[in-house]
Amino acid sequence: MASFHSSSACYLFFMTIIFSWFGSDLVDGVAYTVPRAHAPTVYHPSAWTLAHATFYGDESASSTMGGACGYGNLMTNGYGTNTAALSSTIFSNGYACGQCYQIKCVQSPWCSTGIATVTATNLCPPNWSQDSNNGGWCNPPRTHFDMAKPAFMQIAQWKAGIVPVMYRRVPCVRKGGLRFSFQGNGYWLLVYVMNVGGAGDIQSMWVKGTKTAWISMSHNWGASYQAFATLHGQALSFRLSSYTTKQTITAYNVAPANWNLGLTYEANANFH
């Protein structure tokens, strides 16, 4: 008996550790484990690294709207014209969406002294009919920034076409909380995550309705994540992990029970 008691105490002890580490929600006797929020993490800039930059679109940057991250209208969604399309080497299949970079021109007579801070909002796809060193600037393994023209003009004269640059990742400074834009249908919730502070990127995401456990969402494309679930009529909370720092935060009751597709909801929470 004594050994039975001690081993079950031991079992409880370990389960307590496991549950306090991952967090748990007990539904129908089944434990679903999801990461629980860690201590706050602050994202720090990376080292300066050499790459190249070109520009696309015109001064209005209208052709930069609706890029591969799925942010849609960059003006109404707060990204403005300081944006860039990343070559696939650094686009990381969309996980780089929302990351922030400082870029400065180097080693070219066309350089100005400015530093542009841009958000990754698009993919610059490879073009294999062009040589990597003659037009195929975004072909792997090149690290390349195809900047919105207004951003490029902060670092160099547009006549340059292409310039060598130094770049570094920097924390994204955002006003307000994470924003969640809802698409999909009654059985499929597709969420675009915007206005992400700190490292700016998202690796994993979970959604919880008032009547559900935490449901793991899968990466769709760009900055969108999806759950195949019927969540109508339930207030929704979201839990997110940063792609770069792995920090996890929870945004409770982001959308009210009468939420609708096509709308964007702002949380109080954000990364820093």
Could you list the residues that contact ligand NAG (CB under 6 A)? Answer: 127, 129-130, 135
Cβ proximity to ligand NAG, 4 vs 128, nearer residue: 128
Cβ proximity to ligand NAG, 125 vs 171, nearer residue: 125
Q: Which two tokens stand for residue 45?
A: 């800039």
Q: What is the smallest separation between the CB atom of 102 and ligand NAG, expressed in angstroms? A: 27
Query: Comparing C-alpha atoms, which of 176, 201, 47 is closest to residue 120?
Result: 201
Closest CB to ligand NAG: residue number = 127
Cβ proximity to ligand NAG, 16 vs 127, nearer residue: 127
Q: What is the smallest separation between the CB atom of 175 and ligand NAG, expressed in angstroms? A: 35
Q: What is the smallest separation between the CB atom of 262 and ligand NAG, expressed in angstroms? A: 31
User: Bridge partners of 182?
Assistant: 191
Q: What is the smallest separation between the CB atom of 259 and ligand NAG, expressed in angstroms? A: 38
Q: Which two tokens stand for residue 125?
A: 């796809």
49 burial via Cβ count (<10 Å: 0-12, 13-18, 19+):
exposed
Q: What is the smallest separation between the CB atom of 130 and ligand NAG, expressed in angstroms? A: 5
Cβ proximity to ligand NAG, 113 vs 133, nearer residue: 133
Residues with Cβ < 8 Å from 165, sequence gap 6 or more? 50, 51, 52, 53, 103, 104, 105, 106, 145, 155
Query: Comparing C-alpha atoms, which of 116, 92, 113, 120 is closest to residue 103?
Result: 116
Distances (CA, A) of 138 to 95, 201, 211, 239: 17, 21, 46, 33
Q: What is the smallest separation between the CB atom of 39 and ligand NAG, expressed in angstroms? A: 45
Cβ proximity to ligand NAG, 135 vs 233, nearer residue: 135
End-to-end alpha carbon distance in the chain: 52
User: What is 110-135 written as a DSSP string?
Assistant: TB-S-EEEEEEEEEE---TTSBTTBB
Cβ proximity to ligand NAG, 129 vs 185, nearer residue: 129
Q: What is the smallest separation between the CB atom of 149 and ligand NAG, expressed in angstroms? A: 17
Cβ proximity to ligand NAG, 76 vs 127, nearer residue: 127
User: Bridge partners of 105?
Assistant: 165
